Amino acid sequence: MDLRIERTRRSIINAFIELRSAKNIEKITVKELAEKACINKATFYQHYHDIYDLSGQLEDELIRNVINSIPDPELIITDTPKGFAEYSSAILSQSGLFHILFAGSRRTVLLERLDYEIKKLIYEKMPQYKDSLEFDLLFTVLIHGTFDAFLTHTDKDVAQVIDILGNISNCMVSGYRNLI
Q: Is the pLDDT of residue 179 over 70?
A: no
More confident residue, 1 or 19: 19
pLDDT for 56-113, tens place per residue? 999 999 999 998 888 888 888 888 888 888 988 898 899 889 889 998 888 888 889 9
This prediction has a pTM of 0.85
Q: Is 85 in contact with 39 (CB distance < 8 Å)?
A: no
What are φ and ψ of residue 103, in 5° steps?
-80, 155
What are the residue boundaries of the structural domains of the chain, listed by start? 3-48, 56-179
Contacts of 20 (CB under 8 A, 6+ apart): 28, 55, 100, 101, 103
If you average pLDDT over every residue of the chain, what do you get? Answer: 90
Got the DSSP string for 50-107? SHHHHHHHHHHHHHHHHHHT-S-TTHHHHSHHHHHHHHHHHHHTTHHHHHHHT-GGGH
Q: 3-48: which CATH architecture? A: Orthogonal Bundle (1.10)
Q: Is the pLDDT of residue 42 over 60?
A: yes
